[in-house]
């Protein structure tokens, strides 16, 4: 008796059903696969990085309730969040020697966002990214000029936006609250495995600090494409437009009256990456930024004088990078780059022609596993600046693995900040016609002589600032306790600091500008900071950051100074039923961003956020309420400005489809 | 010397009887899906384990069924294609084959369960030395290696879905929450499901489901989990080489030893024990990926030893 046909039919049916449902077989278990996460693709482990790093991920960004990136940086030890007004939030590491954020490098997907335009500030550039689009923020604490060149003097804030493949679908969010807080966000993502796209738009506005003329509105639109033309090739392209308008100035001020400044930026960024072999990769990056500032007012004492800082700045950046493992113990990264910046601003540079600079760059780092316990990073960044000549920023860092989970780090670095175009070539001239000798004797005297009044005239002699730092660090992963500890002991000495010099009355009357820029300042700071992260159980996470530092200045007692002590305690708690509670408490010692008499007293700030996540069909939603400065309003910026960071509550609603 | 001849003949008879009796231990067919690679490794181990006590015939299932030999006492099918080939061939044989017991090895549980309903199984004994690791062991590994990771995400493919209830139960027993993605029924649903899983969990447990985990989707899955800084616990050392953080798996030799033990049980008791998941296993760790995710994970041998200890074995 043959049972052939029914069995064969059954089997045929099974096989077809199997094929349709794609049944698993032993081949799934034994098939060989290509290496995807190659060495060159992997981020360095924190115990092997040549410096201290604070990672702030997307979930933390969202859960912190922060509306500005500068606020998030309070979660990095040693960082001071501030801003000369509420419309220009910024942060500085260790040294509050400028309130524009010019001494740390801010990168968005590798694209530097400091302003080429005037003072190299990063506040507006940092606002030109939507928080919802960010995957993580890597804060490299300490000098990183050896890897990133000038500007990476007091660290790098490396903002990595989300891959378009991770933001498929739609998301909308709205936040409303006290202080005219009115934020909107919308995102649409589409595409497949070979290419993904994201279009995101946002608007953010608030009334800034209390008591300040600093209402702010930022509107922006971003497009990002992530393409994979082949398994070993990736192409990222992004473009964006940002429109900012913010209040400036003070009531009853003659030289800086209340007004609104408008700033626009468009940018393009393209990155091509090729995995040549498992231990070799090539990367080519090009970016372009263009910014336009409109900020002008009529001088109160002479209506014929328009005080303006309007103009346009551009930057073009090109970089090639090659990463290669030479052996199991030796890995090299080297690259070359070119940077071009120009500004067209007759009011600031007294010429209608572009004022430009360019820099050719060459960099490299050798990572050498000298011994199973010793890892050496030696590298440097050499550049030729078209106006200030060559510079070299070296770094030598040794990481010693005491035992698994405990590493010590010793390092020496040199860093540089090259002068901004304004510091190099600023030339501001007013031609007073109706000057009143009683209200403005300077104007009047110069007008009488037929000479312009020149508040700024750079002699162009200013050179790069340099920073030498020595550090010792410890990174511990106390696995059984669910704890990581990162300690940094540092001594940082800034020399040839660029400061303003006021020319003598005789020189001014002779037609020279009042203010020049010179390398005359110095600033040094030493201290200790640590970040402790502890997950006592699944639902809770505690961050404790502390920084203790001692600053010294050589340019008199009226310079800025850093807080001797700063503590941030952040508690992230997941609660049942999709609730989430976050409390961030910071206590900051007295500090001054400007002169000693502008010092801010010691302050405490508590921010709270309670959120609830829920599902509406297939839509994920989150509702949240947050209170900033829940413990009460407190002075902001300069002590004598009367500005206050007010207690404000706001609520947000988010839907993700 | 007739007496001498009688004694000699008797001795020969005794000798032949003894030798033939030994050689004529139960006849075993080891039907392979493929003749190289993992299947050959399993075949070699089966031969090593069973050759003394059984009359072994090892070959591709087509070769074995190609001849006209009588029915063996037991068929061991190595691999899903071998199992299906054997089932198809058995369907063409006469009644003398209807009770030949069948042991599948290197076979996923889902396949074994589906084939149990085949008419050709009929009254015959059918069991399997399964390839899938027990959920309890996979979750115990997550608890051991990643003590801070308590929310386990799983992509719910067609092969995986029937087992999610059991997985969740095992998770609860170990203080692990399970997040099962929305059902994935087509390739373009993998990525949205993965994103959901990455948002809701802090470790992804990959369960074999060729619709989800295949060479075409591998790159996207590994890159996306890495971008989300979420470790992936996989089911083969190849995944760990490709970029998964951890894997729990059994080698072909280990699976074959499990199957050999079942054959010996069958021989001792004349009945096949119920389907079993592998007893022997290995752990693989991608130390570079783990370090890059700032995870400090014990060496694989220590993890495997601890798992064995938890299972009450030396």
Prediction ipTM score: 0.89
pLDDT the model gives residue A398: 97
Residues 476-495 of A with CB under 8 A from B: 477, 479-480, 482, 484
With contact defined as beta carbons under 8 Å apart, do B159 and B211 qualify? Answer: yes
Closest CA to A580 of A545, A624, A618: A624
Residues of A with CB below 8 A from B108's CB?
Answer: 23-26, 28
Task: Determine, yes or no, domain membership for A11.
Answer: no
Token look-up 């990367």 returns A283
Task: Determine, yes or no, domain membership for A7.
Answer: no
Longest dimension (CA), chain B: 93
DSSP annotation of B98 reads T
Nearest residue in chain A measured CA to CA from B177: A538
Closest CA to A321 of A311, A305, A335, A302: A335
A230 shares contact with chain B (CB less than 8 Å): no
Task: Determine, yes or no, domain membership for A546.
Answer: yes
Task: Determine, yes or no, domain membership for A171.
Answer: yes
Report strand pairing: A330-344 vs A355-368: antiparallel
Tell the burial category of A451 from Cβ atoms under 10 Å away from its Cβ (0-12, 13-18, 19+): middle
Mean pLDDT along residues A167-179: 96
CATH class for domain B25-130+252-279? Answer: alpha beta
pLDDT the model gives residue A249: 93
Task: Determine, yes or no, domain membership for A28.
Answer: no
Q: What is the rounded distance in angstroms from the CA atom of residue A73 to the CA atom of residue A61? A: 10
Tell the burial category of B302 from Cβ atoms under 10 Å away from its Cβ (0-12, 13-18, 19+): middle
pLDDT the model gives residue A95: 82
pLDDT the model gives residue B262: 97
Please report which confidence band the pLDDT of residue A2 belongs to, taking 50, 70 and 90 as the band edges.
very low
Task: Determine, yes or no, domain membership for A26.
Answer: no
pLDDT in tens, A266-308: 999 999 999 998 889 999 999 999 999 999 999 887 888 889 9
User: Which pTM does this prediction carry?
Assistant: 0.88
Cα angle, residue A299 at apex, residues A293 and A302 outer, rounded to 5°: 145
A2 shares contact with chain B (CB less than 8 Å): yes
Q: Which residues pair with A410 in a beta bridge?
A: A398, A472
Backbone angles phi, psi at A491, to 5 degrees: -140, 115
Q: What is the rounded distance in angstroms from the CA atom of residue B22 to the CA atom of residue B16? A: 10
Report strand pairing: A306-308 vs A259-277: unpaired
Q: Are the beta carbons of B92 and A193 separated by less than 8 Å?
A: no
Q: Are the beta carbons of A135 and B227 separated by less than 8 Å?
A: yes
Position A559 pLDDT exceeds 80: no
B89 shares contact with chain A (CB less than 8 Å): no
Residues of A with CB below 8 A from B150's CB?
Answer: 538
Going through A295-351 in order, the beta strands assigned E by DSSP cover 296-298, 306-308, 311-325, 330-344
Q: Quick one: B135-249+281-310 is in which CATH superfamily?
A: Response regulator (3.40.50.2300)
A329 shares contact with chain B (CB less than 8 Å): no
Q: What is the rounded distance in angstroms from the CA atom of residue A375 to the CA atom of residue B290? A: 18
The region, left, alpha or beta by phi > 0 then psi within -120 to 50, assigned to residue B35 is alpha
Q: Are the beta carbons of B84 and A11 separated by less than 8 Å?
A: yes
Task: Determine, yes or no, domain membership for A530.
Answer: yes
Instruction: Go through chain A and tell me how many residues it has.
Output: 657
pLDDT the model gives residue B11: 59
Backbone angles phi, psi at A449, to 5 degrees: -85, -5
Probe site for chain B from A27, A29, A197 (most B CB atoms < 10 A): A29
Token look-up 């510079």 returns A391
With contact defined as beta carbons under 8 Å apart, do A553 and A520 qualify? Answer: no
Of A15, A30, A480, the CB nearest to B84: A15
Per-residue pLDDT tens digits of chain B, which is 314 residues long: 556 666 666 555 555 444 444 455 899 999 999 998 999 999 999 999 999 899 999 999 999 999 888 899 999 999 999 999 999 999 999 888 999 999 999 999 999 999 999 999 988 999 999 999 999 999 999 999 998 899 999 999 988 899 999 999 999 999 999 999 989 998 888 988 998 899 889 999 999 999 999 988 898 899 999 999 999 999 999 999 999 999 999 999 999 999 999 999 999 987 999 999 999 999 999 999 999 998 989 999 999 999 999 999 87
With contact defined as beta carbons under 8 Å apart, do B120 and B101 qualify? Answer: no
The alpha carbon of residue B292 is apart from the nearest alpha carbon of chain A, in Å, by 4
Domain total of chain A: 1
The region, left, alpha or beta by phi > 0 then psi within -120 to 50, assigned to residue A439 is alpha
Q: Which residues pair with A376 in a beta bridge?
A: A368, A398
Position A7 pLDDT exceeds 60: no
Q: What is the rounded distance in angstroms from the CA atom of residue A507 to the CA atom of residue A513? A: 8
Q: What is the rounded distance in angstroms from the CA atom of residue B155 to the CA atom of residue B195? A: 10
Nearest residue in chain B measured CA to CA from A161: B227
Q: What is the rounded distance in angstroms from the CA atom of residue B258 to the CA atom of residue B59? A: 19
- The boundaries of the domain holding residue A109 are 39-656
Q: Give residue limits of the domains in chain B.
A: 25-130+252-279, 135-249+281-310
With contact defined as beta carbons under 8 Å apart, do A87 and A246 qualify? Answer: yes
Q: Are the beta carbons of A26 and B219 separated by less than 8 Å?
A: no
Token look-up 């199984």 returns B121
Asked if B25-130+252-279 and B135-249+281-310 have one fold, the answer is: yes
Provide the CATH number for the domain around residue A648.
Answer: 2.40.170.20
Mean pLDDT along residues A457-471: 95
Q: What is the rounded distance in angstroms from the CA atom of residue B120 to the CA atom of residue B99? A: 10
Token look-up 């390398």 returns A519
B281 shares contact with chain A (CB less than 8 Å): no
Instruction: Go through chain B and tell me how many residues it has.
Output: 314
Position A491 pLDDT exceeds 80: yes
Task: Determine, yes or no, domain membership for A296.
Answer: yes
Position A175 pLDDT exceeds 80: yes
Going through A117-209 in order, the beta strands assigned E by DSSP cover 134-141, 156-161, 169-177, 181-191, 195-206
pLDDT the model gives residue A19: 43
Q: What is the rounded distance in angstroms from the CA atom of residue A566 to the CA atom of residue A563? A: 7
Please report which confidence band the pLDDT of residue A538 belongs to, taking 50, 70 and 90 as the band edges.
confident
């Amino acid at each position: 008796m043959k049972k052939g046909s029914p069995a064969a039919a059954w089997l045929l049916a099974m096989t077809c059903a199997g094929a349709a449902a794609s049944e698993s077989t032993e081949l799934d278990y034994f098939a060989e696969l290509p290496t995807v996460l190659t060495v060159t693709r992997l981020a360095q482990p924190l115990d092997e990085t040549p410096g201290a790093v604070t990672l702030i991920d997307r979930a933390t960004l969202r859960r912190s309730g922060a509306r500005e990136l500068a606020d998030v940086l309070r979660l990095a030890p040693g960082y001071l969040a501030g801003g000369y007004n509420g419309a220009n939030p910024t942060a500085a590491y260790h040294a509050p020697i400028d309130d524009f954020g010019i001494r740390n490098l801010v990168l968005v997907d590798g694209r530097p966002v400091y302003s080429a335009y005037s003072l190299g500030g990063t506040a507006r550039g940092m606002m030109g990214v939507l928080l919802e689009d960010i995957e993580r923020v890597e804060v490299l604490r300490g000098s990183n000029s050896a890897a990133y060149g000038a500007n990476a003097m007091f660290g790098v804030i490396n903002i990595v936006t989300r891959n378009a493949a991770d933001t498929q679908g739609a998301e909308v969010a709205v936040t409303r609250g006290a202080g005219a807080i009115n934020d909107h966000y919308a995102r649409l993502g589409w595409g497949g495995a070979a290419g993904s796209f994201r279009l995101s738009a946002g608007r953010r506005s608030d009334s800034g600090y209390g008591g300040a003329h600093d209402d702010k509105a930022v509107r922006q639109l971003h497009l990002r494409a992530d393409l994979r033309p082949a398994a070993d090739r990736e192409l990222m392209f992004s473009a964006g437009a940002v429109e900012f308008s913010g209040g400036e100035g003070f009531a009853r001020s003659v030289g800086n009256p209340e007004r609104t400044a408008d700033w626009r930026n468009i940018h393009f960024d393209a990155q091509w990456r090729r995995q040549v072999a498992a231990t070799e990769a090539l990367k080519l990056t090009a970016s372009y930024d263009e910014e336009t500032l409109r900020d002008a007012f009529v001088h109160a004492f002479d209506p014929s004088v328009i005080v303006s800082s309007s103009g346009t700045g551009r930057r073009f950046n090109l970089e090639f990078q090659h990463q290669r493992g030479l052996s199991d113990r030796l890995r090299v990264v080297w690259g070359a780059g070119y940077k071009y910046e120009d500004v067209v601003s007759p009011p600031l540079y007294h010429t209608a022609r572009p004022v430009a600079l360019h820099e050719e760059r060459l960099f490299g780092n050798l990572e050498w596993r000298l011994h199973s316990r010793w890892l050496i990073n030696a590298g440097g960044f050499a550049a030729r600046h078209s106006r200030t000549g060559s510079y070299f920023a070296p770094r030598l860092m040794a990481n010693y693995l005491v035992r698994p989970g405990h590493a010590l780090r010793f390092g020496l670095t040199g860093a540089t900040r090259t002068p901004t175009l304004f510091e190099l070539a600023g030339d501001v001239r007013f031609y007073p016609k109706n000057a009143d000798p009683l209200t403005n004797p300077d104007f009047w005297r110069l007008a009488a002589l037929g000479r312009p009044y020149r508040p700024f005239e750079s002699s162009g002699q200013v050179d790069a600032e340099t920073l030498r730092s020595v550090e010792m660090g410890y990174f511990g992963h106390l696995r059984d306790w669910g704890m990581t500890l990162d300690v940094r002991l540092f001594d940082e000495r800034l020399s040839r600091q660029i400061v303003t010099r006021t020319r003598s009355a005789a020189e001014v009357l002779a037609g020279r500008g009042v203010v020049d820029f010179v390398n005359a300042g110095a600033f040094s700071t030493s201290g200790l900071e640590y970040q402790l992260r502890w997950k006592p159980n699944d639902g809770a996470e505690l961050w404790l950051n502390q920084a203790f530092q001692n600053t010294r200045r050589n340019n008199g007692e009226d310079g800025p100074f850093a807080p001797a002590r700063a503590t941030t305690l952040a508690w992230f708690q997941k609660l049942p039923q999709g609730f989430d509670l976050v409390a961030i408490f910071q206590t900051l010692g007295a500090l001054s961003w400007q002169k000693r008499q502008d010092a801010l007293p010691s302050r405490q700030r508590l921010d709270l956020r309670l959120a609830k996540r829920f599902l509406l069909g297939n839509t994920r939603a989150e509702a949240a309420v947050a209170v900033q400065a829940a413990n009460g309003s407190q002075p902001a910026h300069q002590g004598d400005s009367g500005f206050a960071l007010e207690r404000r509550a706001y609520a947000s609603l988010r839907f993700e489809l | 010397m007739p007496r001498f001849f009688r004694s000699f003949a008797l001795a020969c008879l005794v000798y032949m009887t003894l030798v033939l009796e030994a050689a004529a231990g139960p006849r075993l067919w080891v039907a392979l899906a493929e003749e190289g690679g993992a299947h050959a490794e399993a075949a070699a181990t089966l031969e090593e384990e069973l050759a003394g006590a059984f009359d072994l015939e090892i070959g591709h299932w087509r070769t074995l069924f190609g001849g006209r030999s009588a029915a063996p006492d037991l068929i061991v099918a190595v691999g899903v294609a071998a199992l299906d080939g054997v089932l198809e061939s058995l369907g063409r044989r006469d009644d003398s084959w209807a009770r030949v017991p069948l042991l599948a090895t290197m076979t996923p549980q889902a396949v074994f369960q589906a084939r149990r309903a085949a008419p050709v199984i009929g009254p015959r004994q059918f069991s399997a030395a399964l390839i899938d690791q027990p959920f309890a062991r996979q979750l115990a590994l997550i608890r051991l290696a990643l003590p801070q990771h308590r929310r386990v995400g799983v992509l719910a493919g067609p092969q995986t879905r029937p087992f999610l209830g059991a997985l969740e139960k095992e998770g609860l027993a170990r203080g692990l929450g399970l997040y099962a993605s929305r059902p994935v029924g087509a390739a373009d649903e993998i990525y949205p499901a993965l994103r959901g899983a990455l948002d809701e969990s802090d470790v992804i447990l990959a369960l074999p489901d060729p619709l989800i985990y295949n060479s075409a989707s591998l790159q996207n899955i590994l890159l996306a989990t890495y971008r989300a800084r979420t470790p992936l616990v996989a089911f083969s050392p190849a995944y760990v080489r490709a970029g998964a953080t951890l894997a729990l798996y059994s080698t072909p030799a280990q699976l074959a030893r499990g199957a050999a033990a079942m054959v010996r049980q069958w021989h001792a008791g004349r009945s096949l024990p119920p389907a079993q998941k592998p007893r022997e296993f290995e752990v693989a760790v991608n130390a570079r990926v783990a370090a890059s995710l700032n995870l400090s994970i014990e060496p694989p041998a220590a993890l495997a030893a601890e798992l064995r200890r938890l299972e009450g074995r030396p």
